[in-house]
Amino acid sequence: MKSFDSLLEEYYRKIPQKCRLAFASALVSGLVAHMYMFTNKLPNYDDMAIRGVGATFRLGRWFLWILGAISYHLDISYSLPWINGIVSLLLLSASAAIIVYLLNLKQNVTIVIISGLLVVFPSWTATYFFMFTAPYYALALLMSVLSVFLTVRFRKGCITGVILLACSLGIYQAYLPFAASLCVTLLIIDILNTSTDIQESLKKALKYLCTLAAGVVLYYIIMKLSLMITHQQLADYKGVSRMGFFSAESIKSVLRAIVFNCFGAIWNNNIEISYNIVLKAGYLISNLVILFCVFVKVIRFVKDKEKLRGIFLVIMLCLFYLAVNSIYIMSPEKDAVYSIMTYSYVFILILPLCLLDMIMADKYVIIEYICKISGIVMVLTYCHFANAQYLSMDLSLRQAVSYFTTMITQIKSTDGYSDELPVAFAGDNVEDRMLYENDIMDVFDMSGRDDVLAYVYSRENMLAYYCGFAPDYVTVDEINRKEADKMPCYPLEGSIKVVDGVIVIKLSEEY
Pairing of strands 496-499, 423-426: unpaired
Residue 251 pLDDT more than 80? no
SS3 328: helix
Predicted local distance difference test score (pLDDT) of residue 503 = 93
Asked if 46 and 54 count as a contact pair (C-beta separation under 8 A), the reply is yes
Q: 63-76, pLDDT tens digit by residue?
A: 999 999 999 999 99
- From the list 262, 396, 277, the residue with the least C-alpha distance to 326 is 262
The mean predicted confidence, pLDDT, of the chain is 89
Kindly indicate the confidence band of residue 112, based on its pLDDT and cuts at 50, 70 and 90. Answer: very high
Q: What pLDDT score was predicted for residue 277?
A: 94
Instruction: Measure CA of the first residue to CA of the last residue in the chain; give whole Å.
Output: 71
Return the DSSP state at 295.
Answer: H
Whether 17 shows a pLDDT value over 70: the answer reads yes
Q: Are 507 and 431 in contact (CB under 8 A)?
A: yes
Provide the pLDDT confidence category of residue 6 given band limits of 50, 70 and 90: confident
Local confidence band at 235 (pLDDT 50, 70, 90 cut-offs): confident
Burial, 225: exposed, middle or buried (Cβ in 10 Å; 0-12, 13-18, 19+)? exposed
**Residue with more model confidence, 427 or 221:** 221
User: Do residues 45 and 458 lie in contact, with contact meaning Cβ atoms separated by under 8 Å?
Assistant: yes
Cβ within 8 Å of residue 301, ≥6 positions away: 307, 309, 310, 313
Question: Is the pLDDT at 245 greater than 60, yes or no?
Answer: no
pLDDT band at 153 (very low <50, low <70, confident <90, very high): very high
Whether pLDDT at 238 is above 70 = no
Does pLDDT of 409 surpass 80?
A: yes
- CA dihedral angle for residue 490, residue 492, residue 496, residue 497, rounded to 10 degrees: -140
Paired strand residues for 502:
499
The percentage of the chain sitting over the pLDDT mark of 90, rounded to a whole number, equals: 60
**What number is the average pLDDT over the span 307-336?**
86
Is 485's pLDDT higher than 70? Answer: yes
Query: Environment class of residue 445 by beta-carbon count within 10 Å: exposed (0-12), middle (13-18) or buried (19+)?
Result: middle
What's the confidence (pLDDT) of residue 249?
A: 61
Mean pLDDT on 388-409: 92
Confidence of residue 113 (pLDDT cuts 50, 70, 90): very high
Percent of the chain with pLDDT strictly greater than 70: 95
Would you state the pLDDT for residue 250? 61
Centroid of chain to Cα 36: 18
Whether 237 has a pLDDT exceeding 70, the answer reads no
Mean predicted confidence (pLDDT) in 36-58: 90
| pLDDT of the residue at 511 | 74
- pLDDT tens per residue across span 340-351: 999 999 999 999
Per-position DSSP letters for 169-196, written without gaps between them: HTT-GGGHHHHHHHHHHHHHHHHH-TTS
Q: What pLDDT is stored for residue 446 in this prediction? A: 85
